[in-house]
Structures are given as structure tokens and as C-alpha cells.
Amino acid sequence: MKTSDKRSTGYRGAYKPSAEEIERACAKIQQNWSVRQRDKRAGRTSQSQWSPPRVEWSSITDALSDSQSDSTGVSTWADGAR
């Protein structure tokens, strides 16, 4: 009496995609990935952490003095008036 062993013979009619089919399926999945997600899945981690943009203090004081003098017509301490 002969018994079939699926482990040794494999499943009849099982789907076995070609390398090209696998590549196309991967590309289709990956087309919606963001740059961050691609880097994460590739094992690339961010070497630097986010930091706020740097702004020169002079540009802030200039902007403040411009807005204050425009609205009041009076010079401010930032303009050199004390």
C-alpha cells in the first residue's frame, strides 16, 4: 500500500511565481512608499535628528521694528531710539 507524502512531492498545482513576477509585484507594492519608508525598510536610519530652523536675531528685531513703526509711526528701541 502506497501513501502520498506531500512534504516530499510538493503540492500539485501550487503557484510558484517567477523571479520577474516577484520583482513586478514588489515594485507595485513599493510605488506608494515614501522616501522615509524606503529608507526604513532598507535599514538606513536617520543619522541626524530634526532641529528647528535657525533664524538670525537681527531679522526678527528688524521685522518687529518694521511692523511696530508701520502701525504706530513711532520709532522703537530696536531702531536705536531709547
CA distance 67 to 78: 11
Contact (CB, 8 A) for 76 and 65? yes
| pLDDT one-digit tens code per residue, 54-72 | 888 888 888 888 877 665 5
Identity at 61, one-letter amino acid code = T
Q: DSSP character for 51?
A: -
Phi, psi of 21 (to 5 degrees): -65, -40
Q: How much is the pTM?
A: 0.37
Retrieve residue 22's grid coordinates: 516577484
Q: Above 70 in pLDDT, residue 80?
A: no
Q: DSSP character for 6?
A: H
Taking the chain, what is the end-to-end CA distance rounded to the nearest angstrom?
A: 109
Name the residue with higher pLDDT: 39 or 78: 39
Q: If you average pLDDT over residues 40-53, what whole number do you get? A: 78
